[in-house]
Chain A
Amino acid sequence: MINKQSNIYTIIYIIVLVTVVGTALALTSLSLKEKQQANEDNDRRKQILASVNITPAPDRISADFDKYITSQLVVNVEGDSIGDDAFGISVQKQLKNDLDNRKLPVYICSLDGSKKYIIPLYGAGLWGPIWGYIAIDSDGSTIYGAYFDHQGETPGLGAEITTEHFRGQFAGKNLFKDSVFYPVSVVKAGQKPQDNSDYVYGVSGGTITSKGVGAMLDDCLKPYQAYLNKISDNGR
């Protein structure tokens, strides 16, 4: 009979166990990878469309995305085009680069005969990352719509940034005032920002998440200033 308490038995046992479990996990991961990636991509497409208030049916996400997002663009901080695969760019990774080396994705959406420019955002909330998409009208300044999402903000408090109530405030706000660039501020309800910028009210009880949204707008929109300027020059 094997001595089950011996060291050799224990070591062999754990090696076999870990190999079996490891193989099972690797197989699951490999066989589901494609489906998960497809889900993730579709989810991103859905979020991008949500910023222009389009909610496609679950089986039409990809088709609607191709229908409305007529072109994609990658620009640099000077506003010049340097590519066209916006979907393949991770905003999270690009934020770590210097401004000069940053690749800035833009999705161009054709809606009711006019163009909307959709810019992805990425930042930090209270418990984890928050991200979103902001759609800007063809004048390069007026916000058409916004979408926000989060990984783990408190339900009912910080997580309220995803609600229509919060997102809806962004429509109609301006990024440029008298040709000066102000990303929209997020302030406490009833207050006003110190500068001249347009503002929305944060979520009560979700102060840090709201501030995170404000900071994210600042960080992610400022590099686009030159590009937005170009759009507005063309628009005039």
Chain B
Amino acid sequence: MADKISNKSVIFNPFSKNNPVIVQILGICSVLAVTAKLEPAIVMGLSVIAVLAFANVIISLIRNTIPTNIRIIVQLVVVAGLVVIVNQLLLAYAYDVSKQLSVFIGLIITNCILMGRLEAFAMANRPWVSFLDGIGNGVGYAIILVIVGFFRELLGSGTLLGIQIVPDWCYEHGYVNNGLMILPPMALIVVACIIWIHRSYNKDLQE
């Protein structure tokens, strides 16, 4: 019974109270890079969930055999291998999306969330819990990515998933898309606003 409760918190905590992006401030780099439009943000989120969950399971399975002094290298090799496989699969089955994401899939390897979870969680826990932890943190990351992508595409391009949302008459009356939203600094500012709102609801997170 106790095990069940902990499983639940393992998967749901990273959604809000322990969110990797807005609480631990990890993985900010890719939030800047892929959120100018909503679609790449979604695919990137899904890719990170997949890579993180499987990397967690693999590392957790072999955690007792890894020599301590090369554990980071072992983690990197596993993550890099998985990322290349995801990239190859996208190239074969979702070519258009993989073209949009181009180098950013490869850059999942350098995402701090992955190394963080592998080192802090998978190295010390059983495979199933690690899998849940991977899913939880991946989803926590993806949520923020999608929220940021939503606002940046809507305000920066007037579209969502490439479909025009801001009606033509707005433009005719002088409304102009905010070009700044498309540039990386606005991703930081949007993330900062999310953190602000999040912390004002969660008083215990305030420092």
Interface residue A151 (Cβ < 8 Å from any Cβ of B):
yes
Are the C-beta atoms of B67 and A4 separated by less than 8 Å? yes
Across chains A and B, the number of contacting residue pairs, with CB separation under 8 Å, is 68
Are the C-beta atoms of A32 and B88 separated by less than 8 Å? yes
Are the C-beta atoms of B95 and A39 separated by less than 8 Å? yes
Are the C-beta atoms of B102 and A152 separated by less than 8 Å? yes
The count of chain B contact residues (Cβ–Cβ below 8 Å) is: 30
Q: Of the 9-residue stretches B11-19, B74-82, B115-123, B198-206, which lies at the interface with chain A? A: B74-82
Are the C-beta atoms of B182 and A14 separated by less than 8 Å? no
Smallest beta-carbon distance A153→chain B, Å: 10
Chain B contacts with A in 91-123, Cβ cutoff 8 A: 91-93, 95, 99, 102-103
Partner of B69, one of A5, A39, A151: A5
A4 to B74 CA separation, bound complex (whole angstroms): 14
Are the C-beta atoms of B67 and A25 separated by less than 8 Å? no
Interface residue A53 (Cβ < 8 Å from any Cβ of B):
no
Are the C-beta atoms of B84 and A25 separated by less than 8 Å? yes
Residue of B nearest to A42 (CB): B95
A35 to B95 CA separation, bound complex (whole angstroms): 10
Given A28-B85, A151-B102, A152-B102, check contact A14 B92 (CB 8 Å): no
> In the complex, which residues of chain B have a beta carbon less than 8 angstroms from the beta carbon of A205?
179
Taking A24-B81, A28-B84 as known contacts, 16 extra A-B pairs with beta carbons closer than 8 A to each other, sorted by chain A number, are A4-B67, A10-B67, A17-B74, A21-B77, A21-B80, A21-B81, A25-B85, A28-B88, A29-B88, A32-B91, A32-B92, A36-B88, A43-B95, A154-B183, A156-B36, A156-B157
Residue of A nearest to B181 (CB): A156
Given A4-B67, A154-B182, check contact A18 B77 (CB 8 Å): yes
Smallest beta-carbon distance B107→chain A, Å: 11
A17 to B78 CA separation, bound complex (whole angstroms): 9
3 pairs of A and B residues whose beta carbons are closest in the complex: A156-B182, A39-B95, A155-B36
Are the C-beta atoms of B78 and A43 separated by less than 8 Å? no
Interface residue A157 (Cβ < 8 Å from any Cβ of B):
yes
Are the C-beta atoms of A32 and B89 separated by less than 8 Å? yes
Are the C-beta atoms of B99 and A43 separated by less than 8 Å? yes
> In the complex, which residues of chain A have a beta carbon less than 8 angstroms from the beta carbon of B65?
4, 13
> In the complex, which residues of chain A have a beta carbon less than 8 angstroms from the beta carbon of B36?
155-156
A154 to B102 CA separation, bound complex (whole angstroms): 12
Given A151-B102, A152-B102, A157-B182, check contact A9 B77 (CB 8 Å): no
Interface residue B156 (Cβ < 8 Å from any Cβ of A):
yes
Residue of B nearest to A32 (CB): B92
Partner of B74, one of A14, A24, A39, A40: A14
A25 to B80 CA separation, bound complex (whole angstroms): 10
Chain B contacts with A in 169-184, Cβ cutoff 8 A: 179, 182-183
Chain A contacts with B in 119-177, Cβ cutoff 8 A: 151-152, 154-157
A86 to B102 CA separation, bound complex (whole angstroms): 26
Interface residue B2 (Cβ < 8 Å from any Cβ of A):
no
Are the C-beta atoms of B84 and A14 separated by less than 8 Å? no
> In the complex, which residues of chain A have a beta carbon less than 8 angstroms from the beta carbon of B91?
32, 36, 39
Interface bits A3-30 vs B (CB < 8 Å: 1, else 0) = 0110001100110011001001100110
A181 to B183 CA separation, bound complex (whole angstroms): 38
A24 to B88 CA separation, bound complex (whole angstroms): 12
Are the C-beta atoms of B77 and A10 separated by less than 8 Å? no
Are the C-beta atoms of A21 and B78 separated by less than 8 Å? yes
